[in-house]
Amino acid sequence: MNNPSPASQRGGDSEASIKRGLWSSRMAFVLAATGSAVGLGNIWKFPYVTGENGGGAFVLVYLFCIAAVGLPIMMAEILIGRRGGASPIRSMGQITRRDGHHRAWGLAAVIGVLAAFLILSFYSMIGGWAVSYISTSATGQLTGLSADAIGEIFSGLLGNPWALLGWHTLFMALVVFVVIRGLRGGLERAVTILMPALFVLLLIVVGYAMTTGHFGEGVAFLFQPDFSGLTTAGVLVALGHAFFTLSLGMAVMMAYGSYLSKNVSIAKTSIVVSVMDTGVALLAGLAIFPIVFANGLEPGAGPGLIFQTLPLAFGQMPWGSLFGTLFFILLTFAAWTSAISLLEPVVEWLEEKKGMSRGKSTIGAGIACWLLGIVSILSLNVWSDVTPLGMFAMFEGKTIFDLLDFVTASVMLPLAGLLVALFAGWIMTREALQNELAMSARSFSLWYGIIRYVTPVAVAVVFIYNLL
Ligand code: PHE
């Protein structure tokens, strides 16, 4: 899904890359951006937050956030990156200096890099869960088990900090390994096969879900809006998730945009990436909820949802061990390409700010993330009763892991996104924007109106509502 380390092309051999390389093609960019966007957010997080927030109404708000907030911001991030032509923090600096804007706008990129760092720490832990299920499935341990037995396997994993630490370490090592070396054509090619393969496997599980006799119930849960189940906090989760799943607010798309050649349409590319990302999430929902209802499970079971439902499906379908193993390999791969893109901005920042070599910055950032990840691991078992901000009603019962998730996805990402929208919509010159987007006058006006008014107002309203 990815050529996430375009740095490997920096100073590369193509004619266009005197100083910094460019993506070899539009396709390479689409793959890298999709590889970043499609990850645990789609298959792990989307179903469980949908389940926790009552289904259809949440999905509707989420789709609205993707279209009215996510897509326009994705375009803005890519265009800022391309115009700045450097790492995110430097790109924002570059544009502000060149066009005489206040330097404080660079804050958006700083929040983004910090958020990327925090997210990667727990993302790697969840990536580790996916890796561990490859072996659980391959050794046939899931075959024919009841829902209870599968639940026990999962809680056994969470209750074992040493096992979690091992998988977390393995996952982080995989990420560091790739970011240090930079990716070459090999993985880019592999991605063109693995991405469609993930799609096909999801379709197979959806096919199985159709045979459970509860498919209609699953579809209704996802698509029949019942607003009584949706709280204002749920709306904030939907907004935050739109940023998370599209890899926005973390300077990732800015970093990737900086390697994009001038003659690629930012709008079309962003639409392709958003549609694919949303498609994978909805397919995951269609695969999972029928299984939930068929087995009398709880849709609001939380972060363990896919690890308690999908193994049931694989345990019952023919060739289940094979499909299950393949599925978790692909899930690991999807998580891997996203994690790589999370580490990249942190590494670029260390290289630029601290003048460290690529090897040193990658290992340093990797170790720091790995250490912080241990906190999330412990909060699932040894520290499961530790709720540092529990005295505030809003954070009642939230463990450190829950807080990290909340602070990043629901606070930092929307905030960084808001700054990006304001910067693009109100600070950058219309000429600069028009020049980058190169759209018809009508489409440009539509985007301009959305990024100036709709996006900031939507984000601000949801925010303020939740703080009051
Ligand atoms: N979009 C990724 C996912 O849905 C997560 C991610 C966020 C990756 C931000 C990179 C940057 O899993």
In the chain, domain spans: 25-467
What contacts 415, CB < 8 A, 6 or more positions away? 111, 249, 463
Mutation test residue for ligand 1: of 44, 342, 343, the one with most atoms within 8 Å of CB: 342
**Which residue's CA is the closest to the ligand 1 atom numbered 7?**
247
Report the residue among 117, 333, 341, 420 best suited for mutation to probe ligand 1: largest number of ligand atoms under 8 A from its CB: 341
Which atom of ligand 1 approaches the CA of 277 most closely?
A: 4
Which pLDDT belongs to residue 404? Answer: 92
| Residue 350: per-residue pLDDT | 87
Q: Ligand 1: which atom is nearest the Cα of residue 42?
A: 4
| CA–CA distance, 12 with 140 (Å, rounded to integer) | 46
Task: Check if the beta carbon of residue 249 is closer than 8 Å to that of residue 413.
Answer: yes
Name the one residue in this structure whose structure tokens are 């609001």: 300
Q: Which atom of ligand 1 is nearest to the CA of 249?
A: 9
Which of 46, 175, 179, 245 to mutate for ligand 1's pocket (most ligand atoms within 8 Å of CB)?
245
Which residues touch 219 (CB under 8 Å, ≥6 apart)? 286, 289, 290
Residue 448: per-residue pLDDT: 96
Question: How far is the centre of ligand 1, averaged over its atoms, from the C-alpha of 32 (Å)?
Answer: 12
- Please tell me the predicted confidence (pLDDT) of residue 10: 36
Query: Which residues, judged by CB distance below 6 Å to any ligand atom, belong to the binding site of ligand 1?
Result: 36-37, 39-42, 244-245, 247, 250, 252, 338, 341-342
Give residue 242 CA to ligand 1 midpoint distance, Å. 10
pLDDT score at 190: 59
pLDDT of residue 183: 52
State the Cα–Cα distance between residues 354 and 340, nearest whole angstrom: 21
Joined together, the tokens standing for residue 280 give: 């994978």
With b for 16 or more beta-carbon neighbours within 10 A and e for fewer, the 27-50 pattern comes to ebbbbbbbbbbbbbbbbbbbbbbb
Of 46, 48, 338, best ligand 1 pocket probe by most atoms within 8 Å of the beta carbon: 338
Find the 236 Cα to ligand 1 centroid distance in Å: 17
Separation of CA 339 and ligand 1 centre (Å): 7
Residue 459's CB is within 10 A of a number of other CB atoms, namely 24
Report pLDDT for 13.
Answer: 32
Q: 239 CA to middle of ligand 1, Å?
A: 14
Q: Which atom of ligand 1 is nearest to the CA of 335?
A: 12
Index of the ligand 1 atom closest to the CA of residue 247: 9
pLDDT at res. 186: 46
Q: Within 13 A of 72's CA, how many CA atoms are on the CB side?
A: 31
Mutational pocket test of ligand 1: of 247, 274, 283, the residue with most ligand atoms within 8 Å of the beta carbon: 247
Distance of CA 442 to the CA centre of its chain: 31
CA 429, CA 31: separation in Å to the nearest integer? 30
pLDDT of residue 110: 84
Spatial CA neighbour of 368 closest among 346, 400, 395, 336: 346
Residue closest by Cα to atom 9 of ligand 1: 247
- CB neighbour list of residue 161: distance below 8 Å, 6 or more residues apart: 377, 378, 380, 381, 382
Q: Is the separation of the CB atoms in 451 and 69 below 8 Å? A: no
Q: How far apart (Å, rounded) are the C-alpha atoms in residues 347 and 248?
A: 18
- Tens digits of pLDDT across the chain (468 residues): 344 444 433 333 333 333 456 666 777 788 888 888 999 999 999 999 999 999 999 999 999 999 999 999 999 999 998 888 777 777 777 777 777 777 777 787 888 889 999 999 999 999 999 999 999 999 988 888 888 999 999 999 999 999 999 999 999 999 998 888 765 444 565 566 777 888 888 898 899 899 988 999 999 999 999 898 889 889 989 998 999 999 998 878 888 888 888 888 999 999 999 999 999 999 999 999 999 998 888 899 888 899 988 888 888 888 888 888 988 998 998 898 889 889 988 888 888 888 888 889 999 999 999 999 999 999 988 888 878 877 777 777 788 898 998 888 888 988 888 999 999 999 888 998 999 999 999 999 999 999 999 999 998 888 787 776
Q: Torsions phi, psi of 22, nearest 5?
A: -125, 160
Six-digit token string for 157: 């994993």
CB atoms < 10 A from the CB of 407, how many? 15
Q: What CATH code is assigned to 25-467?
A: 1.20.1740.10
What is the pLDDT, as a whole number, of residue 75?
A: 96
CA of 274 to the centre of ligand 1 (A): 12
pLDDT of res. 62: 96
Report which residue type is found at 53: N
